[in-house]
Structure 1
Amino acid sequence: MQSLDERCLRYLAEAVGCGSVRAAADKLNVNASAVSRQIVQMEGQLATPLIERHRRGVRATPAGSLLLDYYRRQASDREDILAKLTELKGLRRGHIDVVLGEGFVGDLMSGLLQGFWARHPDLTMTLDLAATNDVVRRVVEDEAHLGLVYNPPPEPRLRTHLAMPHPIRLLVRADHPLAAHPGPVRLADLAGHRLGTMHPAYGIRQIIAAAERAEGVRLDPVLITGSIGVLKQFVASGIGVTLLPAFCAAQEISAGSLVALPLADPGLDGVEAQIVTRLGRQLSPAAGTLLQHLARGMAGEARSGTRRSSSSR
């Protein structure tokens, strides 16, 4: 079998990732003709097309997708080997890429990362916020070492390291009429109340849509957003109500400004927050250490929250 030129693979990856040969050339700081030439050369060597050109740019053929998977695995394996060599120096260097849903930010910044950096002050990190589907994509494509995601869709290439139950609740301001609602709230009870929800790309909204179908109701939100922060402000200002896991507003609930009410639909209870990696990926020592730290810390917080909920009933 012919050898695969790494530069050709990189040009192919950038062309598909950027969506066009010209955008890839700009990113690589080379001529567009050089990118096209390298891809054509590899197509000739392998006797199969690797990209399809369409009106909006290029996309990978099935053969191109196979090569891109190979290239990403090679890149992540090389990174992991170099990181393991760094491990011999006592985790004095290393970088970790994490992609997560916005709802996890409060948990991370409330002490988990503080404790991690106290033990490993020289490690660096990128934290990117993304919708559920994009968290999954970036993890399986090795753009991130770890993903923190709420209710991910079934994906055989994901490995779940920790799954914590986090049911969806109705969040209202403490003085809202629904705050005194007796018993679990049905989705039908939200009629007449101004509702804010996440975009459909988010796992939270997908779960709510399934509950709507199960109850035979249709919610008509007045606000649709990709920001949990916007939804919390929407509720805190008294404009309306929202549906979120309680951990997304833990500080506001603890302070008494917001109230989290249980919902009647059982489908809104059996959902989980997960820490995930790509199945089969060997994490770098830095990423593996962060994974263990987050799993221990978030599992401990979940147990503490369960005890507090039990003692308050």
Structure 2
Amino acid sequence: MHSLDARYLRYLAEAVGCGSVRAAADKLNVNASAVSRQLARMEVQLATPLIERHRRGVRATPAGSLLLDYYRRQTSDREDILAKLTELKGLRRGHIDVVLGEGFVGDLMSGLLQGFWARHPDLTMTLDLAATNDVVRRVVEDEAHLGLVYNPPPEPRLRTHLAMPHPIRVLVRDGHPLAGHPGPVRLADLAGHRLGTMHPATGIRQIIAAAERAEGVRLEPALTTGSIGVLTQFVASGAGITLLPAFCAAQEVAEGSLAALPLADPGLNAVEARIVTRLGRQLSPAAAKLLQHLARGMAGDARTARSCGRAAL
């Protein structure tokens, strides 16, 4: 057996992905002993351990992680070249996997995807919602062709195709006492108002926490959730206020039922929404078409929003 045989690399990928050799064997419909034997043979041939066992199963060693990156690249490149060959035959079909933060759903469903499918009706798509770190992981590991992510952490394996400024705002219901606040709002100005925020592990909440430290204030949320939809409903119902990028409630802000107030902290104004892929990945024709369509549409929306903002000043 060649140590980089794709079949046995898949054994490694499934063992790490499933968390155990037995679970990988069940998924692959082979004996667990066969998976263990081939993994051990790979380790002997490469003279380095590829997995390490712990109480909850197995995980990749640094060497195993390198092989997994190689396997994922090979798999995605093979899928993409087959899609391109299909395209050359004139069969205009394909499937696209997209992973995104919840706040992007409104933008996509308000017209961007309808326009895409009007041009490419035979293309299919999977849209999965995920938190920032999971969006990055799934794009880097080729589980998704494209990612739409808000303020991702530095990641050298990501390629950014479009970066749009999307500062965090105070979202309040029309008529709320803060709606007439003169000038940018400081975090200290939120004291005394019922506040809803995202969970501390989310990227948005971590940005806000850094601003709290910079201003020397501590916010005490009345509501903590992992759902942007819950927060926008919290504000729309008059139950309180929240801190989110304005695009998360773009329709409500455009209709005038909610207002998006600027914040004074520079860190809250220097954040971006991005469209990303794995660096070096050759996208299939279907995914490349969607990337081009989203980049053009979202950049146009950003220009319109900036123009409207200047007109309102």
Q: Provide the C-alpha distance between the structure 2 equivalents of 1:295 and 1:283, rounded to a whole number of angstroms.
A: 15
Letter in 1 for 2:266: P
Q: Secondary structure at the match of 1:98?
A: strand
CA contact (8 A) 1:91 1:123 kept: no
Letter in 1 for 2:272: E
Residue of structure 2 in register with 1:197 after alignment = 197
| Range 218-227 or range 53-62, more displaced | 218-227
Q: Secondary structure at the match of 2:193?
A: coil
Residue of structure 1 in register with 2:88 after alignment = 88
Task: Give 1:21 deviation, angstroms.
Answer: 1.6
Task: Give 1:27 deviation, angstroms.
Answer: 2.2
Task: Give 1:90 deviation, angstroms.
Answer: 4.0
Q: Provide the C-alpha distance between the structure 2 equivalents of 1:135 and 1:103, rounded to a whole number of angstroms.
A: 13
Where do 1:123-142 residues align within 5 Å?
Answer: 123-142=123-142
Residue of structure 1 in register with 2:67 after alignment = 67
% identity of equivalent residues: 88
TM-superposition CA deviations, 1:209-236 (whole Å, max 9, x none): 1111111111122222221101111111
CA contact (8 A) 1:91 1:286 kept: no
Q: Provide the C-alpha distance between the structure 1 equivalents of 2:302 and 2:130, rounded to a whole number of angstroms.
A: 23
Letter in 1 for 2:10: R
Q: Secondary structure at the match of 1:244?
A: strand
Residue of structure 2 in register with 1:17 after alignment = 17
Residue of structure 2 in register with 1:172 after alignment = 172
Q: Secondary structure at the match of 2:311?
A: helix
| Range 22-31 or range 148-157, more displaced | 22-31
CA contact (8 A) 1:165 1:271 kept: yes
- Runs of 4+ aligned residues of structure 1 deviating over 3 Å after TM superposition are none
Q: Is 1:300 the counterpart of 2:303 in the alignment?
A: no
Closer, same or farther in 2 for the Cα pair 1:69/1:27, shift >3 Å? same
Task: Give 1:82 deviation, angstroms.
Answer: 0.3
Letter in 2 for 1:156: P
Residue of structure 2 in register with 1:76 after alignment = 76
Task: Give 1:79 deviation, angstroms.
Answer: 0.7
C-alpha RMSD of matched pairs (Å): 1.4
Letter in 1 for 2:156: P
Residue of structure 1 in register with 2:250 after alignment = 250
CA contact (8 A) 2:3 2:42 kept: no
Task: Give 1:91 deviation, angstroms.
Answer: 5.8
TM-superposition CA deviations, 1:13-43 (whole Å, max 9, x none): 0111111122222322333223222212222
Q: Secondary structure at the match of 1:65?
A: helix
Q: Is 1:53 the counterpart of 2:53 in the alignment?
A: yes
TM-superposition CA deviations, 1:51-85 (whole Å, max 9, x none): 00001111101111111111001101101110110
Closer, same or farther in 2 for the Cα pair 1:91/1:279, shift >3 Å? farther
| TM-score (normalised: structure 1) | 0.96
Q: Provide the C-alpha distance between the structure 2 equivalents of 1:215 and 1:225, rounded to a whole number of angstroms.
A: 24
Structure 2 unaligned segments of length 5 or more: list them: none
Q: Provide the C-alpha distance between the structure 2 equivalents of 1:144 and 1:90, rounded to a whole number of angstroms.
A: 24
Letter in 2 for 1:308: C
Residue of structure 1 in register with 2:153 after alignment = 153
Task: Give 1:199 deviation, angstroms.
Answer: 2.0
State the number of aligned residues: 313
Structure 1 unaligned segments of length 5 or more: list them: none
Q: Provide the C-alpha distance between the structure 2 equivalents of 1:90 and 1:232, rounded to a whole number of angstroms.
A: 45
Residue of structure 2 in register with 1:217 after alignment = 217
| Range 104-113 or range 203-212, more displaced | 203-212
Q: Provide the C-alpha distance between the structure 1 equivalents of 2:307 and 2:186, rounded to a whole number of angstroms.
A: 26
| TM-score (normalised: structure 2) | 0.96
Closer, same or farther in 2 for the Cα pair 1:304/1:89, shift >3 Å? farther
Q: Secondary structure at the match of 2:208?
A: helix
Q: Provide the C-alpha distance between the structure 1 equivalents of 2:143 and 2:35, rounded to a whole number of angstroms.
A: 22
Residue of structure 2 in register with 1:42 after alignment = 42
Closer, same or farther in 2 for the Cα pair 1:42/1:200, shift >3 Å? same
Residue of structure 2 in register with 1:122 after alignment = 122
Q: Secondary structure at the match of 1:30?
A: coil
Residue of structure 2 in register with 1:100 after alignment = 100
CA contact (8 A) 1:132 1:201 kept: no
